[in-house]
Amino acid sequence: MVYLSMDVDCGVGDAVGSEQGVLGVEERYVTPTFERMLPRFLDFAAENGIVLTFFLVAGTVDGPARRAMVRRIVEAGHEVASHSMSHPKAFGLLDDAALHTEVVDSKHRLEDAAGTEVAGFRAPGFYINDRVLDALIAAGYRYSSSVNSALGYNLAKIVVGMAANVFRRDGATSYHVEPGALVAPHHPYRPARGRFWRAGDGPPFCEIPVSTGFARTLPGVTFALDTMLPARLRQRFLERLVDRSKAANIVLHDFELLEDGDMDPHTALPRTTAMLWHHPRELKREQLVALARGGTRRFGLLRDLAVASTN
Which pLDDT does position 19 carry in this prediction? 63
Indicate if the pLDDT at residue 296 is higher than 80: no
Q: Are 67 and 61 in contact (CB under 8 A)?
A: yes
Which pLDDT does position 170 carry in this prediction? 44
199 vs 15, higher pLDDT: 199
Alpha-carbon distance 26 to 49, whole Å? 32
Fold of 2-310: TIM Barrel (3.20.20)
Across residues 200-206, what is the average pLDDT? 94
**Confidence bin at 20 (pLDDT 50/70/90):** low
Out of 29-33, 162-166, 250-254, which region has the weakest mean confidence (pLDDT)? Answer: 162-166
Domain ranges of the chain: 2-310
Adjacent-strand bridge partners of 143: 120, 206
Indicate if the pLDDT at residue 168 is higher than 60: no
Indicate if the pLDDT at residue 81 is higher than 60: yes
Q: Are 225 and 234 in contact (CB under 8 A)?
A: yes
**Confidence bin at 311 (pLDDT 50/70/90):** confident
Across residues 215-226, what is the average pLDDT? 93
**Confidence bin at 174 (pLDDT 50/70/90):** low
Which pLDDT does position 172 carry in this prediction? 47
Give a three-class secondary structure readout of the chain: CEEEEEEECCCCCCEECCCCCECCCCHHHHHHHHHHHHHHHHHHHHHCCCCCEEEECHHHCCCHHHHHHHHHHHHCCCEEEECCCCCCCCHHHCCHHHHHHHHHHHHHHHHHHHCCCCCEECCHHHCCCHHHHHHHHHHCCCEECCCCCCHHHHHHHHHHHHHHHHHCCCCCCCCCCCHHHHHCCCCCECEECCEEEEECCCCCCEECCCCEECCCCEECEHHHHHHHCCHHHHHHHHHHHHHCCCCEEEEEEHHHHCCCCCCCCCCCCEHHHHHHCCCCHHHHHHHHHHHHCCCCCCEECHHHHHHHHHC
104 vs 22, higher pLDDT: 104
Instruction: Please choose, from the candidates 278, 200, 231, 247, the residue with its C-alpha nearest in 3D space to the C-alpha of residue 5.
Output: 247
Indicate if the pLDDT at residue 165 is higher than 50: yes
Which pLDDT does position 90 carry in this prediction? 87
Q: Is the dihedral of CA 259, 209, 100, 204 positive or negative?
A: positive
Average confidence score pLDDT of the chain = 91
As a residue count, the chain comes to 311
Across residues 93-107, what is the average pLDDT? 96
Q: What is the pLDDT of residues 238-290, one digit of tens each?
A: 999 999 999 999 999 999 999 989 999 888 888 888 888 878 888 889 989 98
Across residues 101-121, what is the average pLDDT? 98
